[in-house]
């Protein structure tokens, strides 16, 4: 009797780790990231995955009382970034996670992000400690917007936004008082768009 040699297992090539963008359910980015991370941890393909990011930046908001607070704002609502090696198994694991729509890319194939895009986003998410970080202020008005004063001495008067002071959360509005255009400086929460 001749003994048959068992074939040696062939090594499956490990795809290179690259950054990709996933379309996900809007306003559920954090929970979907956590769910995907759990699925990856329980799978046999953990080696094909790296970091999963919900790109955010720190912005300044002002409360109704005028207090300044720093909050995280999503840079790309409805999207996640994932560093992974794409093969059939890893692609299936990601796509079968509830809440994930698909990879961004051409003709159904995941397209990796360019190194320049990744570097720019990573710098926004993890700013260098040495660099002076200037925080953006979330004031929902632009110069030229028509607004109405909803609180304060000029309540119910309408005007046009002239200047925005993002550092202090103040907006200068040009209001017509007694037939004269008068600049009035208000807290941004004291006005609303028409």
Q: Which residues contact 171 (CB under 8 A, 6 or more apart)?
A: 139, 141, 147, 161, 163, 164, 165, 185, 186, 187, 188, 191
CATH 2.30.30.30 given to domain 139-193: yes
Within 13 Å and on the Cβ side, how many CA atoms surround 66? 7
Band (30; pLDDT cuts 50, 70, 90)? very high
pLDDT at 2 over 60: no
Evaluate whether 18-136 and 139-193 have a shared fold. Answer: no
Q: CA 58 → CA 61, 73, 75, 106, 131, distances in Å?
A: 10, 6, 10, 32, 14
pLDDT at 71 over 90: no
pLDDT at 16 over 70: yes
**pLDDT digits over 140-185, tens only?**
888 999 999 998 889 999 999 999 987 777 899 999 988 899 999 9
Mean pLDDT on 127-136: 60
- Cα separation, 122 vs 55, in Å, equals 8
First to last CA, the chain: 92
pLDDT for 160 equals: 95
Q: Are strands 68-74 and 136-137 parallel, antiparallel or unpaired?
A: unpaired
Mean pLDDT on 39-44: 94
pLDDT at 23 over 60: yes
pLDDT for 22 equals: 93
Band (68; pLDDT cuts 50, 70, 90)? confident
CATH number of this structure's domain 18-136: 3.30.70.940
- Cα separation, 93 vs 78, in Å, equals 19
- Cα separation, 35 vs 118, in Å, equals 23
Domain boundaries, the chain: 18-136, 139-193
| 7: DSSP letter | P
Cα 19–108–39 angle (5° rounding)? 55
pLDDT for 40 equals: 95
- Cα separation, 151 vs 167, in Å, equals 21
pLDDT for 6 equals: 52
Mean pLDDT on 65-89: 87
């Amino acid at each position: 009797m001749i003994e048959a040699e068992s074939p040696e297992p062939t090594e499956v090539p490990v795809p290179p780790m690259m950054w990709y963008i996933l379309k996900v359910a809007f306003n559920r980015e954090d929970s979907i990231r956590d769910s995907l991370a759990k699925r990856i941890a329980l799978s046999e393909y953990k080696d094909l995955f790296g970091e999963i990011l919900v790109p955010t930046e720190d912005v300044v908001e002002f409360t109704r009382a005028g207090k300044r607070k720093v909050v995280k704002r999503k840079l790309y609502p409805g999207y996640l970034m994932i560093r992974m090696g794409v093969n059939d198994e890893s692609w299936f694991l990601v796509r079968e996670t509830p809440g994930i729509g698909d990879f961004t890319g051409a003709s159904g194939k995941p397209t990796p992000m360019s190194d320049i895009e990744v570097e720019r986003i990573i710098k926004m998410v993890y700013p260098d400690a040495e660099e002076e970080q200037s925080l953006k202020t979330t004031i929902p008005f632009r110069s030229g917007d028509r607004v109405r004063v909803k609180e304060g001495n000029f309540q119910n008067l309408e005007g046009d936004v002239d200047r925005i002071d993002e550092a202090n959360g103040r907006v200068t509005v040009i209001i017509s008082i007694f037939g004269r255009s008068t600049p009035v400086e208000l807290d941004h929460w004291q006005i609303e768009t028409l």
